[in-house]
Amino acid sequence: MSLSRKAVLTLAGNRAVTSLVSKYGMKWGAARFVAGETLDQTIETVKKINADGLLVTLDHLGESVSNREEALEATQAALDIFDAIEESGVISNVSVKLTQLGLDIDKDFCLENMDRITAKAKEKNNFVRIDMEDSPRLQVTIDIFNTLVDKYGKEHIGLVIQSYLYRSENDVLALGKKNVNLRIVKGAYKEPAEVAFPNKKDVDDNYVKLVKLHLQNGCYTAIATHDETIINLLKDWLKEKQIPDNLYEFQMLYGVRNELQRQLVREGYKVRVYTPYGKDWYPYFTRRIAERPANALFVLKSFFQK
């Protein structure tokens, strides 16, 4: 992990910084990465994104809840998204984080909540993806995912794998045997060198390797990166290997590389925008700053423009 990314993530955990940014951050610039505070507002934004030919995955922000009530509220929020998608007719699926659904409180309780969400995804003929969080939660996340794939099938639920982890190649191989839908990302958390490649080049190389591996195993792959070098390299490879269009999509974050998102659509690729909303945007926002500290300048600039 680069020094600046580590520094931003450490600073973001500082209490004084947390309270200051939580109070003023949305005004200062979090709105660039967060579509809105309410679902209604956000559905209007999704309509505009869809109008540009992009698909969406909606994420009700929140993670690491500390009591059952909050986890049940978060579960309800995810269930509500499926209804809002159906009622509004927007083209979107849903992404969730297990710590938001009570993973740190009780694994079985979290599984019950995720089970309700997966059942709803199936009922609405839609799809839910479990985001991947930090490495201590990885195995339990895979276990919950596998339980639900066995119960509901692979059409309505997917998972995320992070290329910065040494173990991910084995995970992709194992999950490939179930032919499941994976989103491959580089990884956004602060991880020690015991579990994750410290050098960016290794993370990037592993990224390309994992995408190719999953696709060559005939499994649906969401190529989630803003890295243009990697995107171009994979575009050539997809053509060369004649990988069918219905086996993959590109994904990017709301507010990041907007022009590239639209360019890929113009070239005929399927592109989905990960669109977060809600009041609990602070941890998500700080990870976006950590990925690109230049974003902090953007935030400061929007502060002075007020």
Instruction: Pick out the residues of the known binding site for substrate.
Output: 97, 287-288
Residues that bind ligand FDA (CB under 6 A): 131-132, 160, 162, 185-189, 224-227, 251-253, 256-257, 274, 288, 291-292, 295
Place of tokens 């992404």: 95
183 is catalytic: yes
What would the two tokens of residue 144 be?
A: 């919950």
The least CB distance from residue 223 to ligand FDA, in Å, is 9
Catalytic residue among 104, 129, 171, 183: 183
The least CB distance from residue 123 to ligand FDA, in Å, is 24
Residues annotated within a binding site? 97, 132, 162, 186-188, 200, 225-226, 287-288
First-to-final CA distance of the chain: 34
The least CB distance from residue 129 to ligand FDA, in Å, is 8
Rank residues 172 and 242 by Cβ distance to ligand FDA and give the closer one: 172
**d(Cα 208, Cα 211) in Å, to the nearest integer?**
5
Contact criterion met (CB below 8 Å) for 118 and 156: yes
Q: Count CA within 13 A, CB hemisphere, residue 25.
A: 25
Contact criterion met (CB below 8 Å) for 165 and 196: yes
236 is catalytic: no
Q: How far is CA 206 from the centre of its chain?
A: 18
Rank residues 7 and 68 by Cβ distance to ligand FDA and give the closer one: 7
Catalytic residue among 5, 104, 129, 131: 131
138, amino acid identity:
L
Rank residues 95 and 113 by Cβ distance to ligand FDA and give the closer one: 95
Q: Which residues contact 244 (CB under 8 A, 6 or more apart)?
A: none
Rank residues 40 and 193 by Cβ distance to ligand FDA and give the closer one: 193
Q: Which residues are tagged catalytic?
A: 131, 183
